[in-house]
Amino acid sequence: MKPSREIRPGDRLTIERGDEVFDVYVEALSTVRGPAKIAQTLYRETEESIRSREIQKELHRFSSEPAASITQGRPTKRDARQLKRLKEAFYE
């Protein structure tokens, strides 16, 4: 569905929010802007969408943190100088 198209009750929407994807059916429309609790009553998420998001959440929970593989931080000033001297000696 195009973003500029008006929606009607019964339409199916695919909403992407970051890494999450929601498939929802529009149940009703509101004429005024209101709180999120009321907005949640205006649509229904599909069962497969809920299952898919739960699976993705579990996979994300069990995946390792990328920064956990880093055993050392950035080089100290002394290490950087030694590395610079080594590179200069190698390229001369």
Reduced DSSP (H G I as helix, E B as strand, rest coil) percent helix, strand, coil of the chain, to 5: 45, 15, 35
* Mean pLDDT of all residues in 43-71: 86
Instruction: Check whether 68 has a pLDDT greater than 90.
Output: no
- Is pLDDT of 30 > 70? yes
7-63: CATH superfamily? RNA-binding S4 domain (3.10.290.10)
Q: Which helix (H) or strand (E) holds 43?
A: strand 43-45
pLDDT tops 80 at residue 69: no
**Confidence class for position 23, pLDDT limits 50, 70, 90:** very high
pLDDT at 45: 95
Q: Report the pLDDT value the prediction gives residue 91, as an integer from 0 to 100.
A: 81
DSSP letter at 69?
G
Token output for 63: 């995946």
Q: According to the model, what pLDDT value does residue 1 have?
A: 66
pTM of the model: 0.60
